[in-house]
Amino acid sequence: MRRLVVATKNDKKLYELKRYLRTVRAEVVSLKEYDTAPKIIENKRTFKENAAKKAVVVSRFVGGLAIADDSGICVKALGGAPGVTSARFAGSAKDNKANNRKMLRLLSGTPLNRRQARFVCAVAIADNGKVVKLIEEYCSGFIAFEEMGRHGFGYDPLFLIPKYGKTFGQLGLKVKDRMSHRSKALKKARAFLRKYL
């Protein structure tokens, strides 16, 4: 069985990816398994480019198969920001609460119909240093006026799904799994890997 290295040391991200990839015939591990793993600077302009860079660097390092994702939120009223800098929106500390506070501050006074946003997730799969699959998926919604709900992480408590009138933070994992940007991308990645392996 081949080893599939997830290009992250983030336990929450690893858990989410492992859930989707559990039916893939591979041993799924994270970069935490490697003491000398390279630090990857996400300095590209698009989600796809960042995901591809991470997958290629890790794939070369392990001499095999790697999967990476880059995701974030793009808000129309903010000209598409924070985009690829979503995790560092309020500073390099990657503080979810601070990011959400900044988002609410910047959108203060903006009516709901002008608070359109979309989550974006790019997933790249690389084998022996070459990208073999690149996927990008989306989930559309609005930015709520306050944080609501305790499920998920990041911008989930702010991301309002019109169909339900609730945020991802309120809806929980079961509903999020059916419609999120990451679930759509990872389902396609899973289908590809099943054939590839």
User: Quick one: 122 exposed, middle or buried, by C-beta within 10 A (0-12, 13-18, 19+)?
Assistant: buried
pLDDT digits (tens, 9 = 90+) for 183-197: 999 999 999 999 999
pLDDT digits (tens, 9 = 90+) for 128-161: 999 999 999 999 999 999 999 998 889 999 999 9
Residue 70 is a catalytic residue: yes
Q: Which CATH number characterizes residue 33's domain?
A: 3.90.950.10
How high is the pLDDT of residue 177?
Answer: 84
Number of domain units in the chain: 1
How high is the pLDDT of residue 152?
Answer: 83
* Angle, alpha carbons 101-105-110 (nearest 5°): 130
**Residues of the chain under the 70 pLDDT cut:** none
- Look up the domain containing 8 and give its range: 2-196
Is residue 99 within 8 A of residue 81, CB to CB? The reply is no
How high is the pLDDT of residue 176?
Answer: 87
Selecting among 11, 35, 69, 70, the annotated active-site residue is 70
